[in-house]
Amino acid sequence: MSPVELFFLKRARRVHHNKPKRRRKLPPKQRAVVFETLEPRILLDAAPLMVDMAALGNDLTVKQTGANIEVLDNTSTVVASHAAADTSQVVVHGENGVDDSLAIDYSTPFFIDISFDGGSGGNDNLAIHNGNFDSVTYGVTGSDAGTIDLTAGASSATITYSGLEPLTNTGTAANVVFNLPAGPNQAVLEDNGNSGDNMSQLRSANRQPRQQRRHADPQYARSRVLRQSEHHWRHRQRRHHLRGEDRVGNLHDQRCERNRHDRSDGECQLHADRFTAEYRIGRHRSGVN
């Protein structure tokens, strides 16, 4: 091989070795799956328990049995039931022109709002039994309508009613409060007239009694003195000595009426030795039957 051929042969080999090398492809990296803990999420799907007296009967009782809210007829037959944890409220519709009766039994305490509309006509009544509450507050929104707020510790519930005549509560409470509507009310707190049943009633003296509120005498209630209003209104008082077996101390029958020339609101209190009831008096013309 001549020197010239040898030169070009080495040069060709050198050019071949200077070619860029191909990089080997690395296998793709696998990404790790990471699970993150989320805060608890609760699905709120509670629904009301609807009760139609026209279909289920006109004498019903609402109570809790086990984990369920049950509705029983006057033969103690369960006509409706719903899990208490899934019940947002109980709504009861009465039948027009029929005497509807609803009892709420708190033998097993439950704090779920209840609404009862007795409908038009008939002698409709609501009775609360076996309750033991820290406070029971009665609010009046009309001649046959109002609210009852029940509290025990941190638990509370509201009963809303309309189209009723008598309302009875045979349970016990440390404090019982009556909030009457503004207006020239003459409210009378007195014994209900039945010997030995330890029941008092609140009635209207300036209208024919149609709706009355009866509550068990608070034999274990603590005294609570409410401040007298600084507003000016007429105040008439008369003392009644009730039968010994029916009263807790001497029940003071107080009637309060706003002065027609006074345009301000005021407060009045009805109390026995261990009982206090409070209501407000205002300038709007309304009353309690």
Q: Is residue 212 part of a domain?
A: no
* Spatial distance between the Cα atoms of 263 and 280, rounded to a whole number of angstroms: 13
For residue 166, give the nearest of 128, 220, 194 by alpha carbon.
128
Token couple for 15? 């050019």
Q: Is residue 27 part of a domain?
A: no
Q: Is residue 74 part of a domain?
A: yes
pLDDT digits (tens, 9 = 90+) for 55-103: 999 999 999 999 999 999 999 999 999 999 999 999 999 999 999 999 9
Q: Is residue 195 part of a domain?
A: no
Q: Is residue 121 part of a domain?
A: yes
pTM for this model (two decimals):
0.61
Residues 256, 265 contacting (CB under 8 angstroms): no
- Domain of 55 in residue numbering reads as 47-182
Among 2-16, 143-157, 228-242, 261-275, the range scoring the smallest mean pLDDT is: 228-242
Q: Is residue 122 part of a domain?
A: yes
Q: Other C-beta atoms within 10 Å of 103: how many? A: 18
Q: Is residue 58 part of a domain?
A: yes
Q: What pLDDT score does 85 carry?
A: 94
Number of domains in the chain: 1
Write the single-letter amino acid at 263. R
Average pLDDT of the segment spanning 239-261? 33
DSSP string, 26-72: PPPPPPPP---PPPP------EEEEEEHHHH-SEEEEEEETTEEEEE
> pLDDT confidence of 180, banded at 50, 70, 90?
confident
Q: What pLDDT score does 171 carry?
A: 85
pLDDT digits (tens, 9 = 90+) for 126-152: 999 999 999 999 998 887 899 999 999
Pairing of strands 78-83, 212-216: unpaired
Chain length of the chain: 289
Token pair 């300036």 is found at 206
